[in-house]
Amino acid sequence: MAKTSGKRFMKLAGMTASIAGKAAKNSFKHLSSDEEKRLQARSELMQDVGIQIAETLGEMKGAVMKVGQIASQYKDVFPPEVATALEKLQKDAPPMPYTQIRAQIERELKAPVAELFSEFEETPFAAASIGQVHKATLKSGQRVVVKVQYPNVDENCDSDLKQVRMALKIAGVLNMSKQLQEQLFHEIRQSLHDELDYIKEAHNLRVFGAFHAEDTGIIIPKVISSHSTKRILTLTEEMGETLSVAATWDNDIKQKIAKRLFHFTAGQLFELYRMHCDPHPGNFAFREDGSVIAYDFGGIRSYSDSEVQLFKRFAQHAIKGDVTALEQDLIALDIRRDDDKHIPGEFYETWLSIGLKPLSISPYHEGAFDFGNSQVHHEVITQMRTSLKYFGQFQPSAMTMMLDRTVSGQYWNLVNLGVIIDLSPLVDDYLTSSPP
C-alpha cells in the first residue's frame, strides 16, 4: 500500500513540476508580446496542460481519475481547453482483473463469492473510475447487480485532490479568489467522499426510492442490505435500453421519458430539497413504455429551504423577464459579484432569450421545442464571445455548481434523446406551486 501511494505521489508530483516549468517558460517567453499573442500563447498552454493532466490521471485508477472527471463536469471553474481534455476521463475506464475484485468482495462481505452468490459474472458490464459493476444471482434466485469499489481508492482521495489542485494552481488555471477556491474544492471533496461511501449511497437509494414510490415510470433499484457494505453495493437488477436506443423510438414515448426526467430533477429539488446530481446518460436506462430507471445515487446534494426558495424566485424572475430582480438574485446566489459596475439590462435579456427557449417559455419560444435540432448550445458560445467584457463581474458559485451540472446534463440528455416537447406546463406546475 505505501509503495502504491509513493508511486502515485511521484507521478502526480512529476506532472506538477512539468506544468510549473511550462507555465514559467510561457510567461517568460511572452513578456514583451502584445495582448493577442499572449492570449493565444495562454490558450495553447492551457490545451497542453489539460492534455497532460488528462493523460496522467487517465493512467491512474481511483480517486485521482474521479477528481479529473468531477473537474471536467464543472466547466465554469476551468478554462475550456482544460475542461475539454479532462472530459476524456468521463469515458469508461478499463476494468480491473477479476482476482482483485473477488478479493475485495470476500474481504468486505467476509465469505467466499461462491457462498454469497449462485452465479457471478466475472466480466463487468460497466467500469468507471472508482469501481465496476457485475451482474450476479443471489442464492434465492434474485437477479442483482454488484457495485465493487476498487481497493484503496478512499485512502488516496484527499492527497490526490491536493495534487490536482496544486497542478491547476501552478498552471494559473484557477483564476479566482482563495476563498472561492476553498469553497469549490470543499464542494468537490465532499462530492468525492460521498461517492466513495456506499453506505451513504444505500441510504440515498432508500430515500429517493420512497420519494418516487408513487411516480409510475420512475424506477429506482432496491438495496440488498445483506450483501452491501461501505465498499460493496448490491442492488436489484433493473435493466433498460441506453439513451441512443431510446432516441430511435416514437416521439410520444420520448415525450413520456422527457417528462419523467424533468419530474425526476425538479421534483427532487423543489419537494425533497435534495437532488441526484449526476445526470450522465449512463446513469439512466429506458423502456419502451416510457419508463426511466435511475442509477448511481452517490452524487447527491441537499439544499436548505432558503436556497430552494431563492432558486424558485430566480426562475420566476427569469420567466417574467424582470432583470432588476434577477440581478439581485444573482448576487444572493454568489454568481454576480456585489459591486457598483453597471451591466445593461440588454445583457440579461439576451441571455434569457437564449436560455429559456428549451422550456418553451413565451415570448422566447412558442409551442413545442425540437431538442434534436436545438441550437441553444451554439448560441451560448456565440453570445459568450460578445459578452466577454462583463464576465469579470461573474464567478462560479459553490451553491449552484451541482445544480448547473444537473440542469445542463439533463438538457444534453433531451438533445440526445431528440424529443420534441413543450415543457412550459411542467415549469408552471413547479414554479406556481407552494412549498411542501
**Mean pLDDT on 257-274:** 97
Q: Which residues of 205-214 are buried (b: 16+ CB within 10 A; e: fewer)?
A: bebbbebbee
**Mean pLDDT on 355-367:** 87
Give residue 191's pLDDT. 79
Cα–Cα distance between 53 and 167 in angstroms, integer?
8
Instruction: Name the residue among 278, 77, 114, 102 with its Cα closest to residue 191.
Output: 278
3-state secondary structure of 151: coil
Give residue 28's pLDDT. 63
pLDDT of 117 higher than 90: yes
Strands, E, within 175-327: which ranges? 218-219, 232-236, 274-276, 284-286, 292-294, 300-302
3-state secondary structure of 362: coil
Q: Which helix (H) or strand (E) holds 132?
A: strand 131-138
Which residues partner with 223 through β-bridges?
A: 235
Burial class (CB within 10 angstroms; exposed 0-12, middle 13-18, buried 19+) of 105: buried
Above pLDDT 70, what percent of the chain? Answer: 83
Give residue 90's pLDDT. 55
Give residue 14's pLDDT. 78
Which residues partner with 135 through β-bridges?
A: 145
2-16, 102-116, 380-394, range with the lowest pLDDT: 2-16
267-271, 405-409, 432-436, range with the lowest pLDDT: 432-436
**Mean pLDDT on 190-206:** 91
pLDDT of 414 higher than 70: yes
**Mean pLDDT on 32-45:** 69
Give residue 1's pLDDT. 45
Residues 6+ apart with CB under 8 A from 296: 201, 276, 278, 280, 283
- Over residues 5-14, the pLDDT tens digits come to 677 667 777 7
41-50, 85-94, 228-237, range with the lowest pLDDT: 85-94
Q: How confident is the model at residue 433 (pLDDT cuts 50, 70, 90)?
A: low
Q: Which cell numbers in the block locate residue 14? A: 512529476
217 or 341, greater pLDDT:
217
pLDDT of 92 higher than 60: no
pLDDT of 161 higher than 80: no
pLDDT of 3 higher than 50: no
Burial class (CB within 10 angstroms; exposed 0-12, middle 13-18, buried 19+) of 134: buried
pLDDT of 63 higher than 80: no
